[in-house]
Amino acid sequence: MSQLKLLICIVLLMLLSNCISCPGIDNHTYADTTDTALLAQSTQQSDPLYEQANTLLDKGQIKEAIEILNQLVKNSPDNFAYVHDLAVALEEAGQTETSLQYFQKAIVLQPNNATCHYSLGRIYQVNNKTEEAIAEYQKALELDPKNVQAHNNLGVAYASLGKYTESINEYQEALKIAANYPPAQHNLGYAQAHTSLGISYFRQGQYDKALDEYKQALTIDPECADAYYNLALFYHQKMDLRETIYYYQLAIKFDPKNVKALNNLGVAYHQLGKDEEAAAQYHQALLLKPNFKEAKDNLEALSPK
């Protein structure tokens, strides 16, 4: 084997270790972090300013809503609805640290509010405070055992700590509950849950079970980019390069910004001796993420010395 091929194979092994679509919190993963908590309903007499803030939130005018909610909380710091909805608005605005503080205040006002504990867990999770997230999800499930999102996100948190048995259990619980709920509800996506379960099986070396879960995900959602990406990784570790390329291409079709899929597709092309196609994939990955080390190293390895 030439020095160039050896370098690429070593890089591939690194990629199979590092680029698996791990159930964490990023653009290719499955924790339900995109849908913020439902707005609280004020138990007090209707407040025109509060209603205006909610209307603004519905219209996506987050900054204006935050200004009103800040004033409401300043005037009524013990009003749960005001505090909670300010936390939601701040989260939507990307102000996660401040949002965290207000979710904590909301829980002080209503310690047994399962939605609040779930929301707080989600904020901890996106800030990589995994142990705190687990504690909040567990509390949310203690108060509301059928919270599908909490089961799923708890599974993600467990997986990030290497607790794969606990992770699989949570994904399975999510799937059991989700089967009883209409798909229109904003909760756990079934295909995402199957993919996450497949990832946990893959990491434990249970490849046949992983494959079954990925296929089940695609039965539910034929455009699930994450399932295609993980199928590609499955075939890549088996060195079935034609299947590998096919599934990376589908992953990229449904998620064109997946730089890991672009890079790994380049590796697969190189292993078939198609260096021109490989270079094109590395270049595309670097256009999207200029400092992507693996793609940069792979491209340099292709260049003539």
Q: Distance between CA atoms of 282 and 17, rounded to whole angstroms?
A: 19
Please check whether residue 114 lies inside any domain of the structure: no
The confidence score (pLDDT) of residue 46 equals: 63
Task: For residues 138 and 114, give the distance between their C-alpha atoms in angstroms, rounded to a whole number.
Answer: 10
- Asked if the structure places residue 254 within a domain, the reply is yes
The structure tokens listed for 245 are 């390329």
User: What is the rounded distance in angstroms from the CA atom of residue 32 to the CA atom of residue 117?
Assistant: 14
Q: Evaluate if residue 127 carries a pLDDT over 50.
A: yes
301: CATH: 1.25.40.10
Q: Write the single-letter amino acid at 251.
A: A
Residue 54 lies in a domain: no
**pLDDT for 209-234, tens place per residue?**
999 999 988 887 788 899 999 999 99
Residues near 142 by beta carbon (within 8 Å), at least 6 away in sequence: none
Q: Return the percent helix, strand and coil in the chain, to nearest 5.
A: 70, 0, 30
Q: Does the pLDDT of residue 36 top 70, yes or no?
A: no
Q: Look up the domain containing 302 and give its range.
A: 1-31+223-305
Is 250 a member of any domain? yes
- Is residue 185 one of the residues assigned to a domain? no
What single-letter amino acid sits at 73? V
Output the pLDDT for position 166: 85
d(CA 236, CA 41): 50
* Contact yes or no for 269/247 (Cβ under 8 A): no
122, part of any domain: no
pLDDT of residue 40: 53
295 found inside a domain: yes
Q: Which of 73, 108, 107 is nearest to 89 (CA)?
A: 73
Is pLDDT larger for residue 238 or for residue 37? 238
pLDDT of res. 190: 62
- The answer as to whether 82 is a domain residue is no
* CA-wise closest residue to 224 among 12, 21, 5, 11: 21
**How many distinct structural domains can be found in the chain?**
1
- How much is the average pLDDT of 242-267? 94
Tokens 């996106």 sit at which residue?
126
